[in-house]
Amino acid sequence: MDGPLIYREHGSTWWPVLWGPAFAAVGALVEQLTPGPQHVWMWTVVGVALALGAFAWVRGRRKVCTVQLTPEWLVLGQEYLAVSRVEHATDVGAPVGARVLGGGWTVPKGTHEVPLRLEDDEVVLAWARDPEALVEELTALITPVDGSGSTRS
């Protein structure tokens, strides 16, 4: 990617990796406080297994659900869209069957649609957790004001 990073949303935080070990620690603690056999080794295995599963999920989510915007590129997951191809980011309706950027059939869970009209009059669906912020930054890039006060759109 070229240029400075203007906008970024990660597909996930790393917090879910800690949930499994935290659950296992609570389970081991409860087992220590109650009478009966102690299974500290098994709680350790459970904590590690849950952490590894969460690690794989978070890593995948960060790879396919990250949004990045530079002056040259809008990157959604692993798909790159040249900002120069975007004509409008506001007041664009989302037609049924519009192509979702990033390679999925629908926008990722937890995100909202951002319809974009491209230079060939095609409407595609970008997505973001904070669609207003993405549209604001993208609009600032695609409608530069020249010396006469007119805009590109």
- Count other Cβ atoms within 10 Å, centred on residue 22: 12
Give the pLDDT band (50/70/90) at residue 103.
Answer: confident
Give the pLDDT band (50/70/90) at residue 150.
Answer: very low
- Count other Cβ atoms within 10 Å, centred on residue 49: 12
Residue 1 corresponds to which amino acid?
M
| Average pLDDT for the chain | 89
Query: In sequence order, what are the beta bridge partners of 145?
Result: 151
User: Does residue 77 have a pLDDT over 60?
Assistant: yes
Helices (H), the chain: 16-33, 40-64, 131-142
The token duo for 87 is 């004509």
pLDDT at 93: 86
Give the pLDDT band (50/70/90) at residue 111.
Answer: very high
pLDDT at 94: 85
What is the length of the chain?
A: 153
Encode pLDDT of 57-74 as tens digits: 999 999 999 999 999 999
pLDDT at 128: 94
From 40-54, 99-113, 138-152, the region with the lowest mean pLDDT: 138-152
User: Does residue 149 have a pLDDT over 80?
Assistant: no
pLDDT at 13: 92
pLDDT at 3: 74
Instruction: Sketch the domain layout of the chain as residue ranges.
Output: 11-64, 67-142
- Provide, for the chain, the percentages of residues in helix, strand and coil under a 3-state DSSP scheme, each rounded to the nearest 5: 40, 20, 40
The token duo for 19 is 């949930």
From 90-94, 107-111, 145-149, the region with the lowest mean pLDDT: 145-149
